[in-house]
Structure 1
Amino acid sequence: MQRDTNQCIYRQLYKRLKSDMLASKYESHEKLPSKRNMAKHMNVSVNSVKAAYEQLLAEGYIYTEERKGYFVEPLDKLIINPEAQNTIASYKSAAEIDYDYSFSHMSTDISEFPIDIWTKLTKRVFQDYDHYLSSIPNVKGPIELRQSIAKLVSYQRGIQCHPEQIIIGSGTNTLLMKLIQLMSENVKITVENPGYSRFRTILQQTQTQMVPVSLDNKGISIEEIKKVQPDAIIVTPSHQFPMGTIMPVSRRISLLNWASKTHSYIIEDDYDSEFKYETDNIPSLFSFDKNERVIYLGTFSKTLMPALRISYMILPAKLVRKFEVQNQSTIPDFSILNALTLNLLIKEGHYEKYLKRMHQLYGKKRACLIEELQMTFGNNIDIKDTQAGLHFIIEVVSPYTYEEIEARAKEFKLELYTINRFNVKALQNNSERKTLIIGFSKIEQQQIPEAVQRLKKVIIDPSGTI
């Protein structure tokens, strides 16, 4: 044995014997030397041989017979296919770009996140909720958090619900998959076009029949919905994603009446309803529903941060029991530690204070960005601002196609998304005006002037360089 390596002697002996057995250097049922003889032969201690034999015994390479010793288990020769011997070194993942500036709609600003408060509350969870942390939690999530969310949506979104109607999940995508499982086979679901592409991907992956429906100036087209007659529709009425339209009450009533008459469901994705500028919060579609046809999806990804991975779903009362029966053996996929910490954050008022602080911060960023865009692009830009959410739409004159704009943005290290990311089919590039989604949560306010100049180079200036 080599004594100049960092590996224990018994591990070296164990690996050598294992390798010889797999290479068929030992016969089936062949008796191994006694521990004393093996130690003498290998010039190692008896304890090292004992440890190596015990490891081989635990893994099933050898067996023992009382008062006779250790014997080699019968082992078939392991089949090795040369074509399957691809190493991870040959795998090339998509290279991540280190962007200088970001207009991403997917991020949040965590510069003001109350880290000290969160840490203190987490410590309290360990002290006061050890019974939760040491066992598998309720599939719907801890009742304390569901009670806090019920109060939160009551005064924020006008939703009156029982905590038992609330389901906690690791994201709206995960909750949507659970929701699909609740519905009947061959269900047909309508989605907004343009709309949230990840929902479309989930529907495709679950082989759910998906029908895209276009938008008008009030949101998703009710006339097209009536033609399609789906079993359910997914909508973003408080701030249509990505176009930003706020669905008026007339369209909301039309949707609810259609759902009641056809016994269909409306899945309301209320992804960033907390952020409204210069207007009060708009009541949720769920709050209008009197016939239990709306299923509500909410998230803390926008108000706190995506990495928290906590969202929630509010089911109509008649679906609650079905969910419980169908998921009675399911282990929750969210962090119970984060869930209990979030409950304390909400319960003790820290969440509401943080939300007000972020509302002011995002409001300043948004106003500054809009002003900078108007000064830089002048008549070449149309800003479609609905005074809500963490992004808005711009239409800007550009000689480039959408594909060229996306490629140039990467070249200029500017994180930027065009409308083609959200359309079921890519738009033709005939028009000189291009639609871009401009997020402002991740960018710092002092970066805005330079970021807008970089944007101008990407979409207008053919000779621009970094």
Structure 2
Amino acid sequence: MFEITLTLDKTNKEALYVQLYKYFKTEIQNGQIKAGMKLPSKRKLAVHLGIGLNTVDSAYQQLMAEGYVESQLRKGFFVADLEPISPLNEPLHVSGGVMGPKHERNMIDFNHGRVDMDSFPHAVWKKCLNNTLYLQERKIFMSGDPQGEWGLRAEISSYLFQSRGVRCGADQIIIGAGTQYFIHLLRLLLGNEGIFGLEDPGFHRVREVLRLEGANIAFIPLDEGGISVDSLKKSAANVAYVTPSHQFPSGMIMPITRRVELLNWAVEKAGYIIEDDYDGEFRHAGKPIPSLQGLDTNGKVIYLGTFSKSLIPSIRVGYMVLPKELARDYQQKLIGYKQTVSKIIQETLCLFMINGHWERHLNKMRTIYRKKNKVLLNAIEENFHDHVAVIGEKSGLHVLLKVKNGISESELIQKAASVGVRVHPTSVYHSKNVKGPTILIGYGGLTEREIEEGIRLLKKVWL
């Protein structure tokens, strides 16, 4: 028998039997009450704690139901012999909202997918969320419009025209959870006739969706202006996926002459252009360049956008603007697809935009990221001088470093990790092996101090 050191709180809202059950469960899990030990009889324990017999019985029954104790006829209740839960190879911790091995806790991670979470207006967002739940009442919990909530689509339509020159109505906008989902929908809309010309290097997640769905793919090389239209013309492609405002990952901005060439190609080919404007809001020199879609007068551009870079990645809200002809096809063929973004999140974001919080937040983030960009470039110049070449520094939340030390990409990454810095490869974005190592440096989620310290540490192991 063992000593019961439990004091039940009768003023607690939690039922007494739950308190008792939790006590035994914790003691068993911690090894304080070991396998094979006999629990006190229900009557003795009830007297000892000054509680009813039914209360003890309920606690024991719950322990039995979960397998912590076993009942032996005419003998009583005994602690079961539980197999211990095997620990993970490396304990996990939470750092910046991301789970990772313990040794990664202090890593300075130049991840291009992270944003400045400290600057997110948590209180304002929470207020909008609470107002949404209050104003919408019961209907907020029902399924929404498969195409996305009309109010949010109307707000996005207005924002896109003012900031990116995109011309569309709310009926042309589809809300969805990310680029890969939209590529899947487009694959269904365009059918087997769609042969996709992808930038090379380019966004690997788009490539993987198309590959897994058995789409025909043509890899199109880049030049200083972005995707090579000459190479595109020589291919069989009739759908071109491009990132003209900030080519991913190489970072160049497509000039107006190339944009016109691309639009003319789409007309001649009777095809489409998918314009992925994943971080077009952030241009560090001058104003954001108008979208390719805004130049299109023939309904040939499909425009993709996201709130992942400009707001927070976790809300998983993206949008696709279809040309009117494709929007009609979507209504006929794919309207049966359920919406992938929570209606609560959509309505909260809509309220966030209506009340002007979105525009204020975006202006604030432009200033913050412009400053971080400057800090990064200054740190690279001070530490590396002409030992690296910086690519794509005028826009977005990442740059590329072409390192001139004769070390391979994998070795550069390993050396960085040895001093607590994580940098990322660019080889994954190429369809073929490439010569010369180029490293991707994302800086949106780091503080200015972390940026400077990370570059200083890279100098120690790269030079």
Same fold (TM over 0.5): yes
Q: Superposition pairs for residues 400-439 of structure 1, below 5 Å?
A: 400-428=407-435, 431=436, 434-439=437-442
Q: Deviations over 1:339-361 (max 9, x none)?
A: 11111111111111111111111
Distance change (3 Å), C-alpha of 1:130 and 1:402: same
Alignment-derived partner of residue 395 in structure 2: 388
- Encode CA deviations 1:190-249: one digit per residue, 9 max, x unaligned: 111111111111111111111111101110011111111312110000111111111111
The 1:231–1:13 alpha-carbon spacing in structure 2 relative to 1, beyond 3 Å, is closer
Cα distance in 2, alignment partners of residues 396 and 403 from structure 1: 12
Alignment TM-score, normalising by the size of structure 2:
0.78
* CA 1:185–1:448: 2 relative to 1, 3 Å: closer
Q: Which residue of 2 aligns with 1:100?
A: 107
Q: 1:164-203 residue pairs with structure 2 within 5 A?
A: 164-185=171-192, 187-203=194-210
TM-score by length of 1: 0.78
* Residue range with higher mean Cα deviation, 201-210 or 128-137: 128-137
Residue 226 of structure 1 pairs with residue 229 of structure 2: no
Which residue type is aligned with residue 407 of structure 2? Y
Say if 2:447 is the partner of 1:444.
yes
| Alpha carbons of structure 1 residues 392 and 12: separation in structure 2 relative to 1, 3 Å | closer
SS in 2 for 1:129: helix
Distance 1:265 1:88 in 2: 54
What runs of 5+ residues in structure 1 fail to find an aligned partner? 16-40, 44-86, 461-466
Matched, 1:237 2:244: yes
Match for residue 457 of structure 2 among 443, 451, 454: 454
For residues 179 and 98 of structure 1, the distance between their equivalents in structure 2, rounded to whole angstroms, comes to 40
Q: Residue 89 of structure 1: CA displacement?
A: 6.1
CA contact (8 A) 2:218 2:236 kept: no
For each residue in 1:39-88, what CA deviation from the matched residue of structure 2 results, as whole angstroms up to 9, or x when unmatched? xx978xxxxxxxxxxxxxxxxxxxxxxxxxxxxxxxxxxxxxxxxxxx99
**Aligned with 1:168: secondary structure?**
strand
On the 8 A contact 1:139/1:327 being kept in 2, the answer is no
Map 1:202-221 onto structure 2 (within 5 A): 202-221=209-228
Q: Is the 8 A contact 1:166 1:314 kept in 2?
A: yes
Displacement after TM superposition at 1:305 (Å): 1.2
RMSD (Å), alpha carbons: 2.8
Specify the alignment match of 1:281 in structure 2: 288
1:338, distance to aligned residue in structure 2 (A)? 1.2
Q: Percent identity?
A: 31
Q: What is the CA-CA distance between 1:92 and the residue it aligns to? A: 7.5
Change (3 A) 1:260 1:409: same
Corresponding residue pairs, total = 391
> Does the CA contact (< 8 Å) of 2:111 and 2:445 recur in 1?
yes
- Structure-1 separation of matches of 2:106 and 2:204: 22
The letter for the 2-side match of 1:244 is G
Structure 2 unmatched runs, 5+: 1-37, 43-56, 75-83, 93-99
Shift of 1:99: 4.9
**1:399/1:459 contact within 8 Å kept:** no
Q: Tell me how far apart the structure 1 counterparts of residues 65 and 416 of structure 2 sit (CA, whole Å).
A: 57
Task: Give me the whole-angstrom Cα distance separating, in 2, the residues matched to 1:253 and 1:88.
Answer: 62
1:364-417, CA deviations, whole angstroms, 9 ceiling, x for partnerless residues? 111111111101111212222441111122222123211211222333331211
1:9-408 matched pairs, under 5 angstroms: 9=61, 12=64, 96=101, 97-185=104-192, 187-408=194-415
Distance (whole Å) between structure 2 residues aligned to residue 14 and residue 386 of structure 1: 57
Distance 2:405 2:387 in 1: 9
